[in-house]
Amino acid sequence: MSHLQYPSVSVVVPCYRSAGTLEELVERIDATFDEEGIEYEVILVVDGSPDDTWKVAETLSARPEVRSLELMRNYGQHNALLAGILHAGNEVIVTMDDDLQHPPEAVPGLLRALMAGKDLVYGVPQEENRSWFRNSTSRIVKRAMAQALNVGHATSISAFRAFRHEIVPAFERVSDAFVSIDVILSWATTRIGTVVVETDARSHGESGYTVRSLVRHTLNMVTGYSIRPLKLVTLLGFLTGLFGFVLLAVVLFLFFTGRTEVAGFTTLASMIALFAGAQMTALGVFGEYLGRLHFRSMSRPAFVIRNDTGPAGPAPTPGGDGPSRTPPPA
């Protein structure tokens, strides 16, 4: 057993199609934390999984350290994380995937980095174990965060995180379905560190990320937490107007110098397509923002819990007036 005094930890795991990995994951967490002398709880958040994931999670909840939440439907990974974070009661919250790619044995390293004066620590993989497509799209999303959201540490972002419970109030007023855990964390603190960890290859099933889901997540993140797209639309409008002004000057010059020629259909159609494209792009971006406002005005929930194997008590409500967390299992 380690002689280092670790803080108590809440491990939050969003679960989807992970019936074959949860038992091993919990066993490895238990073995690692017992060896290090870490007080802990595991919160399994089943995100509307269509397989037997909830049955496995419910069975694992027979352990005093495990608590399982079942959401009413599939809300998405970040929404499931939000549900678990708001139910966490220990000093440090660790988030990790359910597919065994994030080794529980690396958690003490994250905790030691956190205890060295950080509020948030990311476990950065030593080398990527995912497909070429997933790695490429992940890098694109991180660059989008760095540029559009002004998140300087975006290239180091990982789903394997450890952060202090003092950050949790930053999540308590999240009251809509468009959630980005990493953006909210970046708003809460700048004391951020990284630890290189050796991740494992996915041992069961396939990733639930598709081109559509990644594009949707990127759009939600950028339009939900930044006005950079609106600034780009303004720039597009200015450049299009400048082009139109230059075109007008050329036409007037040709007219006054007697070299005017009748414009052909191709030229006219090209100009109409150019300006119509700029207008439709602008309307599309404005529509994204109006859609966000519309959903927020309807108070669309970030998540709704169907089952909770934890102790009785009021569940926290996203967007509420203050903390309303139930205590961790005894």
Tell me how many domains the chain contains: 2
- Long-range (24+ apart) CB contacts under 8 A made by 142-150 are 144/218, 144/221, 144/222, 145/182, 145/183, 145/221, 147/228, 148/222, 148/226, 148/228, 148/229, 149/183, 149/186, 149/221, 149/222, 149/225, 149/226, 149/228, 150/226
Residue 327 in domain: no
Residue 86 in domain: yes
- What pLDDT does 162 receive? 96
Q: What one-character DSSP code corresponds to residue 201?
A: P
Look up residue 309 and give its amino acid. Answer: T
**In terms of Cα–Cα distance, which of 118, 77, 99 is closest to 25?**
99
Same domain, 269 and 147: no
Residue 318 in domain: no
Same domain, 279 and 189: no
**In terms of Cα–Cα distance, which of 159, 156, 153 is closest to 196?**
156
Length of the chain: 330
Q: What are phi and psi of 40, to 5 degrees?
A: -155, 165
How many other CB atoms sit within 10 Å of the CB of residue 140?
Answer: 13
CA distances from 263 to 161, 243, 267, 277 (A): 61, 17, 6, 21
Same domain, 81 and 141: yes
Residue 45 in domain: yes
Same domain, 153 and 253: no
* pLDDT tens, position by position, 45-64: 999 999 999 999 999 999 99
Same domain, 192 and 79: yes
Same domain, 121 and 99: yes
Query: What whole-number distance in Å separates Cα of residue 23 and Cα of residue 20?
Result: 7
User: pTM of this prediction?
Assistant: 0.73
- Do residues 129 and 102 touch, judged by C-beta distance below 8 A? no
| Residue with more model confidence, 322 or 48 | 48
Average pLDDT across the chain, whole number = 78
How many other CB atoms sit within 10 Å of the CB of residue 118?
Answer: 19
Domain of 125, CATH number, reads 3.90.550.10
Structural domain containing residue 237: 228-297
Same domain, 54 and 188: yes
pLDDT at residue 179 greater than cutoff 90? no
Same domain, 80 and 107: yes
To the nearest whole percent, how much of the chain has pLDDT over 70?
68
Same domain, 108 and 240: no
Same domain, 14 and 62: yes
* pLDDT tens, position by position, 245-300: 777 677 777 777 776 665 555 566 567 767 777 777 777 777 777 776 766 666 67
Apex CA 287: angle with CA 281 and CA 290, to 5°?
Answer: 150
pLDDT at residue 146 greater than cutoff 80? no
Same domain, 154 and 288: no
Residue 189 in domain: yes
| Residue with more model confidence, 133 or 108 | 108
Residue 126 in domain: yes
Query: What whole-number distance in Å separates Cα of residue 183 and Cα of residue 228?
Result: 15
Residue 52 in domain: yes
Query: What whole-number distance in Å separates Cα of residue 300 and Cα of residue 314?
Result: 20
Same domain, 164 and 260: no
Q: Comparing 33-42, 65-74, 131-140, which segment has the lowest mean pLDDT?
A: 131-140
Average pLDDT for 142-160: 64
Residue 3 in domain: no
3-state secondary structure of 123: strand
